[in-house]
Structure 1
Amino acid sequence: MLDFAIFAVTFVIILIGAVLYLYPDIVNKGSLHEFLVALHEEFGSVASFWFGRRPVVSLGSVDQLRQHINPNWTTDSFETMLKSLLGYQPSSGVAVVESLVEELVDKWASYPKSQHTPVCSHLLGLAMKAVTQLAMGSRFQDDAEVIHFRKNHEAIWSEIGKGYLDGSLERSSSRKAHYESALAEMETVLKSVATQRPAAGSMCIWAVHFLSISEAVQEQLYQELVEVLGEKPVSLQMIPKLRYCQQVLNETVRTAKLTPVAARLQEVEGKVDQHLIPKETLVIYALGVVLQDAETWSFPYRFNPDRFSDESVMKSFSLLGFSGNQACSELRFAYTVGTVLLTSLVRRLRLQPVEGQVVEARYELVSTPKDDTWVTVSERNS
């Protein structure tokens, strides 16, 4: 259902403008996701409003999403690239990611036990390297090239997620100039990198964070990795056998509300419950609301990968587009990177949280921690 919509940046930007025009307090809420949480708390699982002559409908429960009929399916422009990387050349794709992961894990293993390791900085860099090297080859084996590219990418992504939301981009000539300069410089490569890196990087960041504060989950994952893989590297053929690892990543996506908002344009008239959805309606999938809905998820704010051993839970998750055939190519790529990372990292190192650290989420097109997240690591064989 959401294979096209999850990362439909254009629709989300249109939506942000619409909601901002009608509801100035969205800025006070902090994000579109937080605005939608309040909206659905007040008006229920289906909420609607108007933007000029265009109706906007937000759906905030699994039942409503299941009913929604939208034939506006199209092939994602990133699908072809990802298939060529991970479908037609699966071995080489995983090999590149594995090499980058081993380099990172070696670096972490060299740190003293007391050293605070910056998770966001390192894992966003890992995701950027993986995407750029797979898409563009040796050009991005140079760390300086990756860092320069990452700075431009972050400038663009930040303004898409925030500058359009609060109107601050148009009010700041220096920020707008920086944004336009970065966009022009990255024009030839932006399409192949802009969505995959945030999804893969954020999934890895949240997975490492949740494992660091969930010792029992971390140890259960370690036992599975040892039993299934031993000391062998992971391969695409072995990934389906890592069932608990998949559950950990599923629960990471759910708990972090990795993609809190998606949107689609209704091309023909549809219906949800007793509500008609006219043609040309902008339909919001309030995924962040749905992923924390107590009617769908027991103890929704608890990180509990075991919930995904229940087939009915997996069906709900798949319906939302986060797994199975419904998952978009960007998310499938993120799962691949996340699996390769965890299989190497957890088998070699123990992850511990930094005492007193409070991690808060920033909800843009993809959710990330507001500030860098820190862990300490120690060798398992030490």
Structure 2
Amino acid sequence: MLDFAIFAVTFVIILVGAVLYLYPSSRRASGIPGLYPTDEKDGNLQDIVNKGGLHDFLVDLHQEFGSVASFWFGRRPVVSLGSVKQLQQHINPNHTTDSFETMLKSLLGYPPGMGGGPNESVVRKKLYEGAINISLKNNFPVMLKLAEELVGKWKSFPEAQHIPLCAHLLGLSLKTVTQLGLGERFRDDAQIIAFRKSHDAIWSEIGKGYMDGSLEKSSSRKAHYEKALSEMESMLLSVVKERRAQKKQMLFVDALLQSSLTERQVMEDCMVFTLAGCVITANLCIWALHFVSTSKEVQDKLCQELEDVLGTDPVSLDKIPQLRYCQQVLNETVRTAKLTPIAARLQEVEGKVDQHVIPKETLVIYALGVVLQDADTWSAPYRFDPDRFEEESARKSFCLLGFSGNQTCPELRFAYTVATVLLSTLMRQLKLHQLEDQVAEVRSELVSTPKDETWITVKNRKSRT
């Protein structure tokens, strides 16, 4: 089972650090083409920095050396896989844990699993996924209400007003994740503001400082990060205790409290879900509306599907699987924006890809951003074209990469539901228009985000133009 997740350079570095600590003896991915280290101590780290990030570095690496390539982090070799075929070969030996959860917990200083080995980690992962599903099922009306409130706000704007997608959709994401995950206390704007303050401080420092050690070199930044993390943990522990006393069974946190997890472990999982869920959900919605705003044809097809499937009724959880074109739009959004450009996994047993042997305990990178825009896999790979997912070959490749089906990471599955509700509510009331001369450049980090604020205008769908 291939449980893909979202990684930035910092995540890869932390995982490599764990390898260096746990496995001090030398490991070599011998015979795999790739770069020699440019620095004896840092390997190719400066090359990654010079390229502007790991994704851009991997694009050039695979262009030069092919779909299986190697480079160096410190004195350790790293293997990167850059095609669907090679990724498929690597699936089977690497299925026991969710790599994103493991990496994020490592960055936060949380132990993976339940403290009892790989089997306990799998059990905890299933609890986590089940808790998200329970929250979606029990709180769908809340999600619909939040989407309707946002669309109502946009309808009240003058047609010429520019709407900042990043700001508005991060707000929608924060409200949705906290209310479905943690409860009614986050209906209070003051609680949302406090949550966002800590959330942003933690997330920004997770994405900084670990590559060049700048966080450790700045006592003020480190103190700010640690204060934000402590405040967030205190807030979440307070929620956990509050929900345990109420003995309700409606939310993400409630479902975890029905298990054998300690309050501390429940808090940790709430931290992972809220941190990751907010960012993934916001950016999927941002990119989806950005791309949809560029195409009247896509908007018309979405409206027709909504009319055929829903009529005049609001979207419901059981109707979402019938919105196949909407699913294609979101799939193509993930692909075109390279929403999750990097994944990584530690080789658990010695493996083999093509003729190349990958030794045990080697860090293997899945260059998803490279594969998602590979011309051998996708025709016109840089064009936003939801119709490509009418083809079985495209759907199969997407599934093999872990972006659909049972292999989808739970945070992305949650984001798809929120984005579907938003599109279903929005498309039947408003037409979206991209601003002239606006280019939304991708910043491929932990999650691919626009480098700058992205703007649209809207018009009432009953308007003639």
TM-score class normalised by the smaller sequence: over 0.9
In the alignment, what sits opposite 1:310?
A: 391
SS at structure 1 position matched to 2:446? coil
Cα contact 1:78–1:329 (8 A) shared by 2: no
Contact 1:72 1:267 in 2 (8 A): no
The residue aligned with 1:150 is 196
Report matched runs for 1:103-118 at 5 Å: 103-118=149-164
Partners of 2:178 and 2:388 in 1: CA distance: 34
- Tell me which amino acid in the other structure corresponds to 1:21: D
Moved over 4 A (4+): 8-11, 15-20, 76-79
Question: Which residue matches 1:71?
Answer: 94
Structure 1 counterpart of 2:51: 29
Counterparts of 1:315 and 1:21, CA distance in 2: 38
Of residues 88, 95, 105 in structure 1, which corresponds to 2:141?
A: 95
Q: Which one of 83, 86, 99 corresponds to residue 130 of structure 2? A: 83
Percent of paired sites with the same residue: 65
Other structure's SS at 2:431 match: strand
Structure 1: segments with no counterpart, 5+ residues: none
Deviations 1:229-283 (A, max 9, x none): 1221111211111010000000000000000000001110110001001100111
Aligned equivalents of 2:345, 2:183: Cα separation in 1: 34
Alignment correspondent of 1:235: 316
Question: Contact conserved, 1:78 with 1:192, CA < 8 A, in 2?
Answer: no
* Inter-CA distance 279–85: structure 2 relative to 1 (3 Å threshold): closer
Equivalent runs, 1:260-279 vs 2, <5 Å? 260-279=341-360
Residue aligned with 2:158, SS? coil
Q: 1: distance between equivalents of 2:123 and 2:436?
A: 42
How far does the alpha carbon of each residue in 1:269-307 deviate from its partner, in whole angstroms, 9 at most, with x for none? 110001001100111000000000000000000000000
Between 1:191-200 and 1:71-80, the stretch displaced more is: 71-80
Q: Quick one: distance in 2 between partners of 1:240 and 1:11? A: 33
Is the 8 Å Cα contact of residues 250 and 305 (structure 1) preserved in structure 2? yes
2:320 matched to 1:226?
no
SS of the residue aligned with 1:163? coil
Question: More displaced, 159-168 or 141-150?
Answer: 159-168
Cα distance change, pair 38–347 in 1 and its aligned pair in 2 (3 A)? same
In 2: Cα distance, 1:81 partner to 1:314 partner: 26
Give 1:207's aligned residue: 288
Bigger relative contact order, structure 1 or 2, given CA contacts below 8 A and separation 6+? 1
Taking a change above 3 Å as real, the CA distance of residues 354 and 63 of structure 1, as seen in their structure-2 partners, is same
The answer for unaligned runs of 5 or more in structure 2 is 21-36, 98-121, 237-269
Please tell me the root mean square deviation across aligned C-alpha atoms, in Å: 2.1
Q: CA 1:370–1:52 in structure 2 vs 1: closer, same or farther (change >3 Å)? A: closer
After superposition, the C-alpha distances for 1:22-75 in whole angstroms (9 at most, x for unaligned) are 220212211111111111111111111344564311000101001114234223
Deviation at residue 79 of structure 1 after TM alignment: 5.0
Partner of 2:435: 354
Indicate the residue corresponding to 1:60 in structure 2. 82
Q: Give the whole-Å Cα distance in 1 for the aligned partners of 2:287 and 2:358.
A: 36
TM-score, scaled relative to structure 2: 0.77
Paired residue type of 1:41: Q
